[in-house]
Every structure is written in C-alpha cells, then in structure tokens.
Amino acid sequence: MPDAMRDGTTGAMTGAEAVAEALAMAGVARIFGVPGGGSSLDLIAAAAARGIPFILARQESAAVIMAATEAELSGRPGAALVTRGPGVSNAANGMAQASLDRAPVLLLADGFGGAERAYANHQFLDQVAMLAPVTKGAARAVESGAAAGPMAATLLQTAMAAPRGPVLLELSAAGARAPAMALPVVGTAAAGAVAGPALAAASRLLAGARRPVLIAGLEATDPAVCAALRQLAASLGCPVLVTYKAKGVLPDADPLFGGVFTGGQAEAPILAEADCIILAGADPVEFIPQPWRFAAPVIELGTAPRPLAYRTPAAAYYGPLAPALATLAEGAMPSGWSAAAIAAHRDRWRTALANAPGGNRGISPQAVVELAQAACRTAGADPRVAVDAGAHMFPATTFWQASRPGDLLISNGLATMGFALPAGIAAALHDPARGALAFTGDGGLLMALGELATAAVLGVKLVVVVFNDSTLSLIDIKKAGEIPPAALGWPMADFAGIFTALGGLGLRARNEVEYQAALAEALAAPGPALVDVLVDPGSYPAQIKALRG
C-alpha cells in the first residue's frame, strides 16, 4: 500500500484505505465519479492500490447511473464518488434512479468536518437530508478517528439488503487521512429450503388454477431466481409476461413468452383469461400509475413486503425467491393453456404495438430497432442494449429480442432521460466482449452529451443509436391545446458531427439503406460509434394508446 496513504505517526490504515478495503471486500469492481478536493483523491488512490480503478465521468448523475448499471449486471454493489455541494446535488438524479430501480450503490461524497463548519458556509448544504428520500441509509465519517471503514461496510450491507437501494457515506479530508478503526468480520448465512404457511397457501391456490399467468419482475433477474422461474413456467406450461427490467428472464423466442407487462392495456387480453396471477419478483415501482385492472387472485413472491397495496394478494411470500419458486414448481401440474393460445396472444400484442412504416419524415422507430438487431446478428455481435426514456422506448422494449437477464437495461422506476448512454458505457466496461448498444432519443442524449466524451476517451465497444426527430415526442403526444413549438422541440442537432469532434466515429442515416450501411460500419469499429438516425414519429400516438389504453 502506498506510504502516502498511511498515517505518518502510527502507520495505521487511514480512513480512505479502510473505505477502499470495505469496497474490495464487497466485490466492487470500479468507482465512477467526478472528484473534487477533500477526500476524493485519497479515496481514488486507496482504491487503485486494491485493484479498483476510477472511471472519470463528465457529470455526477451519469456516474451514479453507471454505478447502478454495474451493480445490476454484477449482482454486487456499485460505487460512485463526488465532491461536496454541487457534486452531491448533481448526483441526486442518479441516486433517485438507483433507489427506484432497486440498485445497490454506495455514494462516496466529500464532507465537512466539525472544525471546518465553524467558519465554512461555501458549498455547504445538509447532504444527508437532501438525499434522505432516495437513500436507504447514510453515515458521516468527517472527524479524525471516525469509523469510516466499519461505516462503509455497514452501508454496503444495507444497500444489498432487500429491497436493494443506494446509500451515502460522507468522508472529509480529516476522516480520510486519520488512522481508522479495523473493519468488522462479516459472515453470511446460506439460504436454506423454504417452507411455511405462506408458500403452502400459494401452492394450494396454484393447484386450483387452470389458466395461471406468471409475471416476472426486476427481482427475477438474479441467475438462480431466473432458473427457478423458468422451471416453474415449464412445469405449468403457462404464459410468462416480463416487466421492462425483466426482459430476457424468459427469452422472447420461448413459446411461453406472452409479452411485456406494464399494468396497461396491451397485455390485458391475456390476463383477462387468467384465473391466477403469479407476481414473481415484480416490484410495483415497475407498473404504470393506473389502478390494478385484473380480476384474478394474485400470488405475490418478493424479497421484501411492498410499500404500496396496489392489489391485496390472495397469498404472499417474502424472502429468498429461488427456493420459493422451486417449491412451487415441485407440485405444479400442467395448466390448461395451449401453445396456440399463448402464441395468438403474443402475436396480437406485437401487432397492436407495431409502428407504421416510415415516410418522408424518416425511418420507422420499429425498423430502427429491428434493423439494428439484424445487423448485430450479421456481424456476430451480441451487445447488451440500454434504452433511454421517451417514446422510442416502446418499440425498443417491444421489438428488441432478449434471451438472458440483463440483455436490456432501462430506467423503469424513475424513467429518467439521460440514462442510456452512461448505462451503455458501464455495460461495455462490465463485459467488453459483448459491448453495448444504446438506444436514445435526441432529448435524452442532449441531457447526457458530455458522456460521449467519456465513451471516446475510454474507447469502449459501444454503438449509440439516436432516434432524431427534434422533438420531445412522448410529451408532444400528451399535449392538449396549442403549445408554442419551441416548448417541445429544437433545431435538429448534428450528433454525428458532435461525436466526431469528441474523437468518436459519427455516422448519419436518413433512410433504411443508409442506416444499414452505418450500422455495419459502427459494429465493425474497434471503439465507440454513433449513428444519428432521422426517425418518423408519426406512429407513436397509436402505439402508446395501444400500450396504455
């Protein structure tokens, strides 16, 4: 360990080193962030000494989104680092995204020591209070001798406990450089078999059902839970719907795949035939804000009780999901669903959500998605896909075919714009062999434009596809009455030119032929590439009406 990171008097581990040790013990792969003064540089050096690299982002919210994506894909905590004051306030949106998408992230923020507070008002705000609504826990290690390491270890455990979510640690320069307390030894108990009255009630309810439907949510993306859910679905022979976050838990190509569940109109026909609905790790934060519209009794399986009583379940189990699903599968009998009936519902769902062919205004949004996947298959590429918020998310989530959990990344709980690009960068860093593809609207990309520079500097294997229609299309659909044009749109931006200026490969496409050529070039590039696609938004209103009713 570098001598500079040791307390010069005692040689003991410093606070920054203790925090870095806690990160290493928790399996944190890298730290994303925008550093400032105070504790930031001490933490970066201490982490690097333990094999944890620092990834410099261009904006703090994007850094937290990257950390949340890393956590989602790895199953381990993510970490982000910011300076105090504006660094923390800029990170708030990323922390909200991590909170509502249940991502375990530790935000390391520079803090103010007590002595400093006697005279310092510059940049000071109550950072713990400001982030309290979107954090599961917080601690301040701002004095010499503070238990920074144990605090970090405890917060990391809190972040990983169900339901998962972000936490905050403030570390001042004094806390980072002073001798630190030793880390606690933490053990975890192995999950055993699951039984009890809750599962017994669920089993009885399922045994009496002839047309059950499974709905897989974000908690089903864990590999063991995914495997157990697939086994239960196969035992029942019933249709499976997935939330946006759970795309790939059951492959789109599986005969039992019934479509995507949002709580809206598009999936209502298949659920109208259900006599039992099994919510498997589906969090209410994933559903659109409409009343529950389905009459069948509900079996809810989750890692923890839900804060919102959107529907009182007939049977509810909260705890380890994989053994619970395995228990239900043991006694499951084949349902009354036929493969033909499931296929008919799936086909009707896809037809209802189809985009009309593009016209003179540009390419069909559906074609943008389907041609991208076809190009990936031709090139032998298998990227993870990150999808931004906006009207383009509906064709992207419907028509991109997923086969594994994590194939499609999206901000569902918060639905924040500016998500896809930083998430795509993090996915490409996490798995360089697969790389990533980011579907983003022009509005979302303008919010995260600085991260194009991050992608270019890192040289990640990332293709950014921009749905460019110079409009906030989803908001435009919602308008009532006359709205000034400048309120919802802007002059068309040259994203290809911007990325070229930042050191990346920028390409343009105004029709399908140009788009296919640009995709082939982008996928063959050794580093990041951007394809700026002129999109016809004309069919979005009908698609969204079919989806939500």
Whether residue 203 is predicted with pLDDT greater than 50 in this model: the reply is yes
What is the model's pLDDT at position 188? 44
User: CB 147: neighbour CB atoms within 10 A?
Assistant: 19
Give which of 498, 522, 527 is closest to 509, Cα–Cα. Answer: 522
What is the model's pLDDT at position 358? 77
What is the model's pLDDT at position 118? 60
What are the tokens at 199?
């599962």
Mean pLDDT for 308-332 is: 90
Q: Report the alpha-carbon distance of residue 96 to residue 130 in Å, rounded.
A: 11
What is the model's pLDDT at position 490? 56
Q: Give, rounded to a whole angstrom, the gap between the first and last alpha carbons of the chain.
A: 60
Structure confidence by residue, pLDDT tens digits, 8-37: 444 578 999 999 999 999 999 999 999 998
Exposed / middle / buried, residue 85 (Cβ in 10 Å: 0-12, 13-18, 19+): middle
What are the tokens at 58?
């261009």
The CATH T-level fold of domain 3-177 is: Rossmann fold (3.40.50)
Q: How far is CA 57 from the centre of its chain?
A: 18
* Residue-averaged pLDDT of the chain: 91
What is the model's pLDDT at position 2? 40
Second CATH level (architecture) for the domain 197-349: 3-Layer(aba) Sandwich (3.40)
Question: Taking the model in full, what pTM does it have?
Answer: 0.93
190-204, 267-281, 295-309, 315-329: least confidently modelled range? 190-204
Assign 483 a pLDDT band (cuts: 50, 70, 90): low
Residue located via tokens 């400032």: 36
Whether residue 182 is predicted with pLDDT greater than 70 in this model: the reply is no
Element of type H or E holding 98? helix 86-100
The CATH T-level fold of domain 353-548 is: Rossmann fold (3.40.50)
- Residue 543 DSSP label: H
Structure confidence by residue, pLDDT tens digits, 58-87: 999 999 999 999 999 999 999 999 999 999
**257-262 own/partner pairs: CB under 8 Å, 24+ apart:** 257/346, 258/213, 258/342, 258/345, 258/346, 258/349, 259/345, 259/346, 259/349, 259/350, 260/349, 260/397, 260/398, 261/215, 261/287, 262/286, 262/287, 262/288, 262/547, 262/548
pLDDT winner (highest mean) among 100-114, 512-526, 533-547: 512-526
Within the chain, all domains assigned CATH 3.40.50.1220 are found at 197-349
Assign 183 a pLDDT band (cuts: 50, 70, 90): low
Identify the three-state secondary structure at position 137: strand
What is the model's pLDDT at position 323? 95
Structure confidence by residue, pLDDT tens digits, 359-406: 778 999 999 999 999 999 999 999 999 999 999 999 999 999 999 999
Within the chain, all domains assigned CATH 3.40.50.970 are found at 3-177, 353-548
